[in-house]
């Protein structure tokens, strides 16, 4: 069984994330969505909320693609998380050249820690390349319309969060 790990904070999950997940499903039999706890980023949504969002949004993709998709919270090193879930490949999404520079360094470090785990980069589709969770949250916080960037349930969750 080919197992892939797609890590991120997913605060919140966006259409860009879902695009990468959908396409990663064609590469692996099981895709583990590593939901990073990442206390340094100070996520808006709790870990439990983010895991629930990932599970809800990925269920239709799993059914449509036949790929098993699981959400897996983690707080350890990415390479250790990959080992924990028996992933042979780490999936990373790229939006722009700036992403590549950071990801290039990460691949080098991960290869030094465990060269048996490959990293595969997937470019976001053109209509999703500008989407970043940080920008989505900022637009939503200021009352802007983020419906083009997130699924309907996530859009509602953002509206609810900022209405409080």
72 is catalytic: no
Query: Does the annotation mark 41 as catalytic?
Result: yes
Interatomic CA distance for residues 137 and 147, integer angstroms: 12
Neighbouring CB atoms inside 10 A of 147's CB total 14
> 22, 30, 133, 137: which one is catalytic?
133
- Note the helical H segments in the chain: 15-24, 47-65, 78-84, 97-113, 133-141, 152-163
Check: CB of residue 30 under 8 Å from CB of residue 50. no
Concerning whether 30 is annotated as a catalytic residue, the answer is no
Q: Is 133 a catalytic residue?
A: yes
- Do residues 120 and 91 touch, judged by C-beta distance below 8 A? yes
Q: Which of 23, 72, 95, 161 is catalytic?
A: 95
Residues identified as active-site: 17, 41, 95, 133
């Amino acid at each position: 069984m080919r197992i892939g790990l797609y890590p991120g904070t997913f605060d919140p999950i966006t259409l860009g994330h879902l695009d990468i997940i959908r396409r990663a499903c064609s590469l692996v039999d099981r895709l583990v969505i590593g939901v990073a706890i990442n206390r340094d980023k100070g996520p808006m949504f709790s870990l439990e909320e983010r895991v629930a969002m990932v599970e809800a949004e990925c269920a239709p993709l799993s059914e449509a693609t036949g790929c098993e998709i699981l959400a897996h919270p983690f707080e350890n090193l990415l390479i250790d998380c990959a080992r924990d879930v028996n992933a042979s490949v780490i999936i990373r999404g790229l939006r722009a050249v700036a992403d590549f520079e950071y990801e290039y360094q990460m691949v080098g470090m991960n290869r030094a820690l465990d060269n048996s785990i490959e990293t595969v980069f997937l470019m976001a589709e053109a209509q999703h390349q500008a989407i970043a969770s940080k920008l989505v949250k900022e637009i939503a916080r200021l009352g802007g319309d983020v419906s083009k960037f997130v699924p309907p349930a996530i859009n509602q969750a953002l509206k609810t969060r900022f209405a409080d």
